[in-house]
């Protein structure tokens, strides 16, 4: 066997992943059942993180394995320097990657081959713009993180003043952002009579399609109002909900894939649960994803509210407490009786009252499912990963529930405690004295405010970028001040015991 294809690690043969080595992989490894050379592109996906491989690429592989929709292969893309390294890794293994499913009873692996190219990452994004302007591309999808849409968290409006956006307005032929590149591509398509493409957000945002429409159309309007109107009238922006816990890929994940006999620079691990619910609004066609388990529904917002309010908000409830108490993984957090009790009490009393049932799932049933999923020790999802970018996640997942509770007159006691725990975490030390490394784009600012809030708690809620007008709620401020003072006085564990036993 060619030395370029194999090497030895821990007395086991490990095969470097490539198109030519697929047939040499262990029989237990699932792999594409289709001729990848016969695929043609239909989708550009910007921000090729773990979501794309664990969701979109996986569903496409199911279709391709059925002999369907081979003109919908993916072209990867990115707009950050980090993406250039990812492209290099993918290029070296023919754009293949491995999914490892982490079930409580064991793991399994599958090589995914539905991506066939990855455009170069360049200043000005000329190649990306040309690819999106190509008539074969009918969907441009994105995962650029919850905080990547240039939305003012306090007002929820498009942040036209952001320097990145100002650059794009002045340099639309050489944009900086993914959205500027999309506008530039749509301008070319309009001029050439190619028609629009569907703009599909896959990020964990409420009304993610609506947010994406506002960002793209608002940016286009600053550049060319007629183009903005054409985009608004012709492009579609379906809302979607994605639900699968996908940990960050690190050394442990790289080591795990090698145990399967594969050398893969970009593997993805994921839990043994997956759901994708999408509005059926695709202006230029779409793959027949319904054949392979995707739910198309006009009630995406109900699914979305259940997932974002219960899972995404629930992750923050669990992880911030765990970080303070030096608990490394989410599964380990769920074994701590007080964190589990906090999670369940806040969910039952303050979140579930504002969540509608969806077909085949009530909020109480979803809560039970979440406890099972969060408790899966095989996933190894870290508290640090879940705590990352808390300024976006709290403003996007927790604050809207607080506002709903205040308007409805329901309890917000536990949510005030949750925010006090986050404020304590952002001070930058755990209760054992160890340092919490920077974990937010605004970490320095958050840490400064958190240290001031130790002595004047309300200053934390004065961060209108995160909390908007929540500071005007006397009741919430009072409860928050009480809990933050208690955390600093008697410690997080004692506070959780006090809250969960009353």
Give the pLDDT confidence of 249-258 residue by residue, as tens digits.
888 888 889 9
State the pLDDT confidence band at 371, using cuts at 50, 70 and 90: very high
Give the CA dihedral 54, 59, 64, 67, nearest 10 degrees.
Answer: 150
Rounded to an integer, the average pLDDT of 218-241 is: 96
Quick check: 1 pLDDT over 60?
Answer: no
Q: Write down the pLDDT at residue 275.
A: 93
The residue written with tokens 């949750």 in the block is: 418
| DSSP three-state, residue 335 | helix
- Which residues have C-beta within 8 Å of that of residue 483, sequence separation ≥ 6? 416, 417, 420, 421, 495, 499
Mean of the per-residue pLDDT values of the chain: 94
Distance CA(357)–CA(421), nearest Å, equals 29
Give the percent of the chain with pLDDT over 70. Answer: 97
300-500 belongs to which CATH class?
mainly alpha
State the pLDDT confidence band at 154, using cuts at 50, 70 and 90: low
6-296 fold = Rossmann fold (3.40.50)
Tens digit of each residue's pLDDT (9 = 90 or more) over 169-193: 999 999 999 999 999 999 999 999 9
Return the closest-CA partner of residue 360 out of 299, 317, 319: 299
Contact indicator for 185, 129 with CB cutoff of 8 Å = yes
Distance CA(199)–CA(320), nearest Å, equals 34
Q: What is the DSSP string of 51-110?
A: HHHHTHHHHHHHHHHTT--TT-EEEEE--SHHHHHHHHHHHHTTT-EEEEEEETTEEEEE
State the pLDDT confidence band at 147, using cuts at 50, 70 and 90: confident
Q: Write down the pLDDT at residue 81.
A: 86
Tens digit of each residue's pLDDT (9 = 90 or more) over 451-493: 999 999 999 999 998 999 999 999 999 999 999 999 999 999 9
**What are the structural domain ranges in the chain?**
6-296, 300-500
CA distance between the termini of the chain: 66
Quick check: 92 pLDDT over 50?
Answer: yes
Tens digit of each residue's pLDDT (9 = 90 or more) over 301-341: 999 999 999 999 999 999 999 999 999 999 999 999 999 99
Rounded to an integer, the average pLDDT of 227-255 is: 92
Relative orientation angle of helices 313-324 and 413-425, to the nearest 10 degrees: 50
Rounded to an integer, the average pLDDT of 233-253 is: 91
Distance CA(30)–CA(229), nearest Å, equals 46
Distance CA(134)–CA(264), nearest Å, equals 31
Rounded to an integer, the average pLDDT of 108-129 is: 96
Lowest mean pLDDT among 3-7, 263-267, 304-308: 3-7
State the pLDDT confidence band at 273, using cuts at 50, 70 and 90: very high
Q: Residue 112, class by beta-carbon neighbours within 10 Å (0-12 exposed, 13-18 middle, 19+ buried)?
A: buried
Q: Write down the pLDDT at residue 291.
A: 97
**What's the angle, vertex CA 380, arms to CA 496 and CA 8, rounded to 5?**
160
Q: Write down the pLDDT at residue 5.
A: 47
Rounded to an integer, the average pLDDT of 163-174 is: 94
Distance CA(452)–CA(273), nearest Å, equals 42
Pairing mode of beta strands 6-9, 12-16: antiparallel
State the pLDDT confidence band at 156, using cuts at 50, 70 and 90: confident
Rounded to an integer, the average pLDDT of 433-452 is: 97
Distance CA(163)–CA(209), nearest Å, equals 24
pTM: 0.85
């Amino acid at each position: 066997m060619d030395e370029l294809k194999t090497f030895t690690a821990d007395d086991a043969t490990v095969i470097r992943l490539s198109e030519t080595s697929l047939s040499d992989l262990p029989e237990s490894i699932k792999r594409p059942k289709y001729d990848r050379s016969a695929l043609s592109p239909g989708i550009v996906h910007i921000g090729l993180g773990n979501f794309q491989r664990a969701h979109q690429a996986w569903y496409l592989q199911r279709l391709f394995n059925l002999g369907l929709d081979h003109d919908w292969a993916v072209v990867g893309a990115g707009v950050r320097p980090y993406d250039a390294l990812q492209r290099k890794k993918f290029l070296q293994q023919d754009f293949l990657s491995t999914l490892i499913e982490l079930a409580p009873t064991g793991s399994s692996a599958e090589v995914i081959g539905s991506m066939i190219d990855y455009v170069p990452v360049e200043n000005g994004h000329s190649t990306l713009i040309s690819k999106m302007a190509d008539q074969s591309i009918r969907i441009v999808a994105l995962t650029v993180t919850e905080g990547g849409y240039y939305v003012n968290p306090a007002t929820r409006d498009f942040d036209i003043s952001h320097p990145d956006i100002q650059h794009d307005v002045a340099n639309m032929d050489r944009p900086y952002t993914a959205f500027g590149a999309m506008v530039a591509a749509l301008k070319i398509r309009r001029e050439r009579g190619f028609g629009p493409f569907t703009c599909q957000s896959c990020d964990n945002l409420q009304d993610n399609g609506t947010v994406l429409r506002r960002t793209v159309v608002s940016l286009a309007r600053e550049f060319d109002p007629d183009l903005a109107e054409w985009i608004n009238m012709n492009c579609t922006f379906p809302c979607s909900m994605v639900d699968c816990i996908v940990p960050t890929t690190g050394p442990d994940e790289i080591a795990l894939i090698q145990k399967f006999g594969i050398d893969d620079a970009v593997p993805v691990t994921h839990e043994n649960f997956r759901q994708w619910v999408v509005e059926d609004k695709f202006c230029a066609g779409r793959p027949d994803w319904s054949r392979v388990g995707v739910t198309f529904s006009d009630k995406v917002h109900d699914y979305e509210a259940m997932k974002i309010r219960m899972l995404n908000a629930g992750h923050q409830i669990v992880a911030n407490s765990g970080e303070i108490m030096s608990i490394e993984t989410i599964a380990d957090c769920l074994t701590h009786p007080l964190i589990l009790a906090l999670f369940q009490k806040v969910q039952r009393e303050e979140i579930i009252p504002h969540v509608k049932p969806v077909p085949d799932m009530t909020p109480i049933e979803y809560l039970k499912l979440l406890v099972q999923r969060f408790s899966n020790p095989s996933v190894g999802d870290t508290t640090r990963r879940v705590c990352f970018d808390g300024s976006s996640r709290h403003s996007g997942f927790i604050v809207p529930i607080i506002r709903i509770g205040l308007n409805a007159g329901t309890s917000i006691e536990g949510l005030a405690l949750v925010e006090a725990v986050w404020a304590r975490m952002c001070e930058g030390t755990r209760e054992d004295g160890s340092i919490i490394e920077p974990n937010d784009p605004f970490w320095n600012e958050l840490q400064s405010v958190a240290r001031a809030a130790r002595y004047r708690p309300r200053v934390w809620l004065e961060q209108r970028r995160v909390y908007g007008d929540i500071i005007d709620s006397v009741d919430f401020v009072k409860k928050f001040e009480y809990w933050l003072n208690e955390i600093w006085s008697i410690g997080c564990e004692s506070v959780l015991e006090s809250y969960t036993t009353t």
